[in-house]
Structure 1
């Protein structure tokens, strides 16, 4: 997206006040992050969103893994015939002046469903195209399951959706746009999920896009429910299905949120249902039509949707008692959580060995650049032997915020950190590699504000190599056989896979190169595992245990730091160290084997062989029937 287009987006969204709004946002970035922050935003705009799949390769993947044959159709029909109390699914479709050809294709895709227990509830919002009414009448006459209401006054999409919702008699409601297409097995997959999971109240699927000629492209293979990503983008939409009782409880669609009315609805429903009642089907069950007026072509198509999304998110924060504000930034939304006053003391733990200049630069970077000021730094000198080094490290204690702890035990990264944390004074603790250099001054404010949110465990940063490519943006369990680094080596300004390199999200694990966590959470989960993960997988093992304890781990792109590699970590040339490493690998596979095959925050349709969000050949999704 060019800057000119972004300015146009915000200008329209703000209704003539857009230029002032752009200036205010730019000035806010400058105050928080300086000129480097402005340059980063420009780079993001220019970088676009790599990570989308080549259409030809996706076409081949579809032919291999996303086709339904006659034998499968027969098994599906037999299975449906044996359902006890098969749920009726009401497909709700507001209509206003669509391309008649695409409208007909949308309706026919519902009529072609292998699952027969549906009704299509259509509300025409006073379309001015004379071809629309006869087309709808014709289809309603051909199939009694199609209901049509013709509104007398145009009310926009929320009012029309509520009119369509008023026709629904099913126990479940699926949202459907008037120019999109469902594959023939879509409603069967929904009904099957309901049969298998009677506790669920909301269902969403993967999706792709279909162009004006009907060619499929840009599949979005989503992860399971991801509350932090959901506050950054409407990952629920397409195909989104709700329990009808839940929609009644929240009052349906709200007028005044047009363009993001489905996001607002999903936010209110998710608040009431809870994350445990939200189910993801890892299959492409929705083909989103791309054309000039569709939001599938980008936010420029419907700029008012951006402002409506901000309003919906800020309403959500108010309803849930979360202190913060939401704003649209570049390719998604960012919630800025408010810090308490006074801000809590943060203890930053920096293990080091024989690298005085590296740790000095690390400390100088933190002290000079960090806007969050209530912190202490604890340097763990883990066996430095050089007299010059010892003198240099001892001199660090002259800084009032720095303490040095001597720990001469053999190499054990986990033990060094645990002992330092026990000696710390802060309610928040941070593990910092001695090669870290601060980029964004607000990094610690960002991470602490997230760590203080209810239910949050460890918080990770966007850690970059000095060449401005990604080193750490969260781990995916199972990637590269153990735990791989998502978006590894991606250019700093790139959005990544459907924005996930530039949006806050829940992940299975974050790197201890820069990790912030409440001390109470650290103690609840017994800290780093000194016995089994003394060197290589301490952060991943810790984060898995944090998840087991009921917390979620969060990665944020708004805390950026460089990582200059250090020698504090293990030396792979040392045979004894290699043996310890191999032992840790075995521990991880034995202890976490099942989790290393099924990361809920990484799609089974994506590869485990590379760190680039490529397609899985074959996917790890179970058989359709």
Structure 2
């Protein structure tokens, strides 16, 4: 075998440079690169290796080989990629290619090509690899006697696009007809007891007339008719804008227009538009974006269902210059700590009109993040139950050159404005929180105050034998952890290994390490319930014996978070030894009970809308590395010993904590390795399988619908995978 030089990717079509953690932005449905160099590609067999990080979960990529007949589907090599996951496949060049094109996606998205290379194979080794792949897929069939052409044809079928996942256009076709059923909506409109007037506020300035017209038309076409459109033009120099606005105001009396004599920028212009508003609620619409036809209906419907609501927001997607919709953002319900990390709410946001007046409207000096600032000041005035998320795409954010929708890096000042808005928010609350800029544009990190004196932390580590991993765990904590005020409590569960027992004796001589014996059959819940009452700390750390510290300040970060009175459980960012994600929060319902979000994503991947880089709330976090205050542990009476001896006890525990009114939180700033096998989870005998099934049934019976309605996930996303792909 010989390895060819790495390819250079020369952008050919529907591509431009991106930011926000990715290298490229596809701007259409046919992004393509030409590969260089080609001189090293003779005919024959190759191992193709491809890895792509993307804002899309699944990519149906292709390699097109031109043998002199141009680029065509007949010579396409299919590459069904999963975000961040390397793909290897055998391919055959029937003659020396004149050109090779790489099409990374069939949909607009942001991405980075992390690997694209070919390794020359002998025909015998290529045959061996193909037979191995087919045998894994079809264990009952024999492939060794097949002619090479038939073998290659069968092998190629293994790489057909996955039918269990949807592209966004497919998702729209499957799900939106039911959501936006006109007959159903007409009936529901007639039954609304309250039909509030909704004022749509918009500022314009030299807007492209084509997009401005589409924007205003999207309001005129609303199925809910109790609205007014309040437009303030910020002294546009383009006469077409004034003419168009006058035409629309004459066309419909619900459209109110005022023309500012001096350009004051977005905040002042938006406040001018607010002065025209007489509605019960105020919605924010950018001058080149569009509302979905039934956006205002869903706002009114939610207000009827939840009369106390004072702030509403919806899901959104992007729309390009040609009207193609892409990159939907299916959001969580109100996620306070995620909102402290970035403005995930964005569009479509609607406010109680009296609330906007109470906070004084938009503030000048925060242009670029004026919406974030406004929402922060509103959030400070209202309760969590007064914030409503509508899980439907009600807003289409125009992505054109120069817009933040296309790339957050287009407007660097927005990060600065958001930074100031968040600083001012915490200053107003008198909480000494330090705000820092995040790793990505328009993201932030909040450093919560460390309690004084430093709370004492008890780290509980259950173990049986396992000398090597236990030693690695304890030594990494002792040598790398910067937080000074802790003890390690090893819970010995019937260890028989002499080497491990000797190690227990040795570490017991340390001032801050104790070994407690739990001489009963393995029961994770019972072991920890046994250990907690014997700890000295006011904070309990649950640590698996196969954890290894990466970031020295991991415990500092987790102690800061868990010391907040409204926080329950705190989870860490856990990696497999190969630096892929093992744990980044737990989502309910995945696989029937719960699953780890972003599992197997690479360490450089920003995750679903940057969520791998941001502190946020989750319904649950894994107890492989979890902190909780001892008082909270005792309040919920610890772990469930009888029914959850091995699996799901941490999920159950977190849900009990959540039910007590605490928020569980995950932080990416506490990083550790979890030396769990990548194939772990298989129950390898009937007894274990029966126990596992009983634990599943217990969780379903106890928590019911809560397992399928996680407020920190979305009903539009799958419960079959952990990768944020669309719900089939």
Q: Fold-level match, TM-score > 0.5?
A: yes
Aligned partner of 1:63 in structure 2 is 173
Structure 1 residue 592 corresponds to structure 2 residue 644? no
Aligned partner of 1:161 in structure 2 is 270
Aligned partner of 2:573 in structure 1 is 462
By how many angstroms is 1:125 displaced? Answer: 0.6
**2:360 counterpart (245, 251, 257):** 251
Q: Aligned partners of 1:558, 1:468: CA distance in 2, in Å? A: 15
- Number of residue pairs matched by the alignment: 577
Aligned positions of 1:34-183 closer than 5 A: 49=55, 51=57, 55=107, 57-67=167-177, 72-183=181-292
Q: Aligned partners of 1:367, 1:479: CA distance in 2, in Å? A: 36
Q: Which has the higher helix share?
A: 1
The alignment's C-alpha RMSD in Å is: 2.2
**2:719 counterpart (588, 591, 608):** 608
Q: Secondary structure at the match of 1:235?
A: coil
Q: Aligned partners of 1:585, 1:48: CA distance in 2, in Å? A: 33
Higher-RCO chain (CA-CA 8 Å, sequence separation at least 6): 1
Check the 8 A contact 1:52/1:498 in 2, yes or no: no
Q: Deviations over 1:204-249 (max 9, x none)?
A: 0000000011100000001111111111121221000001011111
Q: Aligned partners of 2:461, 2:538: CA distance in 1, in Å? A: 17
Q: Cα gap change, 1:296/1:571 in structure 2, threshold over 3 Å: closer, same or farther?
A: closer
Check the 8 A contact 2:547/2:624 in 1, yes or no: yes
Q: Aligned partners of 1:481, 1:510: CA distance in 2, in Å? A: 17
Structure 1 residue 421 corresponds to structure 2 residue 532? yes
Q: Deviations over 1:482-528 (max 9, x none)?
A: 10111011111111111111111100110011001111111111111
Check the 8 A contact 2:451/2:563 in 1, yes or no: no
Aligned partner of 1:490 in structure 2 is 601
Q: Aligned partners of 2:613, 2:58: CA distance in 1, in Å? A: 15
Structure 1 residue 522 corresponds to structure 2 residue 633? yes
Q: Aligned partners of 1:69, 1:221: CA distance in 2, in Å? A: 15
Any gaps of 5 or more consecutive residues in structure 2? Answer: 1-14, 22-51, 60-105, 109-166
Q: Aligned partners of 1:608, 1:350: CA distance in 2, in Å? A: 31
Q: Deviations over 1:297-330 (max 9, x none)?
A: 2222111110110111111112223222222212
**2:454 counterpart (343, 362, 380):** 343
Check the 8 A contact 2:234/2:260 in 1, yes or no: yes
Structure 1 residue 214 corresponds to structure 2 residue 323? yes
Q: Cα gap change, 1:4/1:292 in structure 2, threshold over 3 Å: closer, same or farther?
A: closer
Q: Secondary structure at the match of 1:222?
A: coil
Q: Deviations over 1:266-315 (max 9, x none)?
A: 01111111211100110000000001221112222111110110111111
Check the 8 A contact 1:206/1:221 in 2, yes or no: yes
Q: Aligned partners of 1:281, 1:399: CA distance in 2, in Å? A: 55
Q: Secondary structure at the match of 1:254?
A: coil
Aligned partner of 1:241 in structure 2 is 350
By how many angstroms is 1:50 displaced? Answer: 5.2
Q: Cα gap change, 1:385/1:192 in structure 2, threshold over 3 Å: closer, same or farther?
A: same
Q: Deviations over 1:91-132 (max 9, x none)?
A: 000111111110011001100101000000000010111211
Q: Cα gap change, 1:574/1:74 in structure 2, threshold over 3 Å: closer, same or farther?
A: closer
Q: Aligned partners of 1:393, 1:101: CA distance in 2, in Å? A: 74
By how many angstroms is 1:566 displaced? Answer: 8.1
Check the 8 A contact 1:434/1:566 in 2, yes or no: no
Q: Cα gap change, 1:272/1:491 in structure 2, threshold over 3 Å: closer, same or farther?
A: same
**2:650 counterpart (539, 550, 570):** 539
Q: Which stretch shows the higher mean deviation, 593-602 or 315-324?
A: 315-324
Aligned partner of 1:408 in structure 2 is 519
Q: Deviations over 1:142-168 (max 9, x none)?
A: 000000111111111010111101100
Structure 1 residue 323 corresponds to structure 2 residue 429? no
Check the 8 A contact 2:462/2:490 in 1, yes or no: yes
Q: Aligned partners of 1:424, 1:192: CA distance in 2, in Å? A: 51
Structure 1 residue 269 corresponds to structure 2 residue 378? yes
Higher Cα Rg, which structure: 2
Aligned partner of 2:391 in structure 1 is 282
By how many angstroms is 1:85 displaced? Answer: 3.5
Q: Cα gap change, 1:556/1:51 in structure 2, threshold over 3 Å: closer, same or farther?
A: farther
By how many angstroms is 1:606 displaced? Answer: 0.3
Q: Which has the higher strand share?
A: 2
By how many angstroms is 1:576 displaced? Answer: 3.4
TM-score by length of 1: 0.89
Q: Aligned partners of 1:321, 1:517: CA distance in 2, in Å? A: 25
TM-score by length of 2: 0.76
Q: Which stretch shows the higher mean deviation, 111-120 or 581-590?
A: 581-590
Q: Cα gap change, 1:516/1:398 in structure 2, threshold over 3 Å: closer, same or farther?
A: same
